[in-house]
Amino acid sequence: MKRLSLLVMSALAINASAEVANMDVYGEINVSLHATDNRGENDFSLQSNASYIGVKADKQLNSAIRVFSKIEYEIQTDGNTNQDAFRARDIYVGVDTDYGNLLTGRKDSPMKTLGKKVDRFNDYYMGDISAVVEGEQRQSDMVMYQSQRLGGFQLSTLFTSGELDSSYEQLDNMDFGGGSSTVLDYDAGLVSIGLGVDDNINARDQYRAAMDIKFSGFTLAGMVQESEFSEQALSESGMTQILEQAFVVSAEYQRGKWTYAAQYGKSEWEQNSSAYGERSQTVMGLEYQIDSQIKLFTYAARNTVLESPSSAKANSFSEEDDKFTLALGFEFDF
């Protein structure tokens, strides 16, 4: 409730200022009912697929400078008592000029944004590419610069203090600039291509390339990446190096109010140059757009995790997880 009160008070404070040119309260409620089979164990559940509420505002200082801000929280609409009712998403303030924009706070890393080219089921339970690839980070304690698009090209780069989540507490208190995420994106309308590099983001170094092609109602997309623990993380924690190599492909076809989508991804891990495990994801879905704010959707997803036990030879995997879900959902944007 404290977080909700903060959000409401922020909205009222912004709205009370006559100097603010634009202010908007917005949100999305996305809920789906799931029938899930986890290796023979069946259950029904309700999932809140990253539903959120937020406030954004901007003010034009002069003809060349605009100040903007956003406060956005994820909300749990499924009554899950094991998670916070409100959880921070994007919270930042920045300035926009003819030379690009500069912001600070908490926001999706450029690498995560690049992944949205291929992620047809973004934020959906068992459908988001985070189930199969590393690098989907919303970064805190950061400063980010994004250039204006010039000749189709745009540069986005983020610098962070290098602080990590609680699973890597021993790596806290790094100097500012301990991590960076940089993406160069080219958008020609029908085709867009992006290349990304993460340096010590959430203890990992990562390289990612993604592209999509749009024509006649179709969107075809693909992404490849390589990820490993950063040298700084290895030296400070004593962790063993694990290399991830992954790819994701997806397709979408839109006809009238109907959209058909499919997605497949796979990642393979190596430890000390020996096969360690793999993950895979297969998703197919259909949605119907009732109007500009409301849609119905259904999808089926299968996620598998295979991991080599310590007593087995390399490339001999045992089944660790094989989960299938069938979903029927509803989304309302406001």
Total number of domains in the chain? 1
- What does each C-alpha distance from 316 to 78, 134, 239 come to in angstroms? 39, 23, 23
Whether the CB-CB separation of 267 and 153 falls below 8 Å is answered with: no
Q: Which residue has the tokens 């867009």?
A: 192
87 inside domain: no
> Is 122 domain-assigned?
yes
Q: Which amino acid is at 45?
A: S
pLDDT higher than 70, residue 316: no
Q: Which two tokens stand for residue 138?
A: 């919303």
Task: Tell me the residue type at 217.
Answer: G
55-101 pLDDT tens trace: 999 999 998 999 999 999 999 876 665 567 788 999 999 999 999 99
Q: What is the pLDDT of residues 152-172, one digit of tens each?
A: 999 999 998 755 444 444 444
Query: Of all helices (H) and strands (E), which one includes residue 236?
Result: helix 231-237
Identify the residue whose tokens are 């505002």.
57
In the chain, the percentage of residues whose pLDDT exceeds 90 is: 64
59 belongs to a structural domain:
no
The pLDDT value given to residue 20 = 53
d(Cα 244, Cα 271) in Å, to the nearest integer?
9
CATH number of the domain where residue 162 is located: 2.40.160.10
Which of 149-158, 207-216, 314-323 comes out lowest in average pLDDT? 314-323
Task: Flag whether 78 is in a domain.
Answer: no
Token pair of 289, please? 């757009």
**Structural contact between residues 93 and 104, judged by C-beta atoms closer than 8 angstroms:** yes
| Residue 63 forms part of a structural domain | no
Banded pLDDT at 16 (limits 50, 70, 90):
very low
Domain holding 257, by residue range, is 28-48+107-333
- What integer best gives the mean pLDDT of the chain? 85
User: What pLDDT score does 158 carry?
Assistant: 95
Q: At 3, give phi and psi (nearest 5°).
A: -70, -40
pLDDT (average), residues 221-229? 94
Tokens of 232: 């700084």
- Tokens describing residue 35: 């029938």
Q: Is 11 domain-assigned?
A: no
CB atoms under 10 Å from CB of 17, counted, come to 10
pLDDT for the residue numbered 140: 87
Report if residue 19 sits inside a domain. Answer: no
Give 86-89's long-range contacts (Cβ < 8 A, gap of 24+).
Answer: 86/3, 86/4, 86/7, 88/3, 89/50, 89/52, 89/54, 89/138
Residue 237 domain-assigned?
A: yes
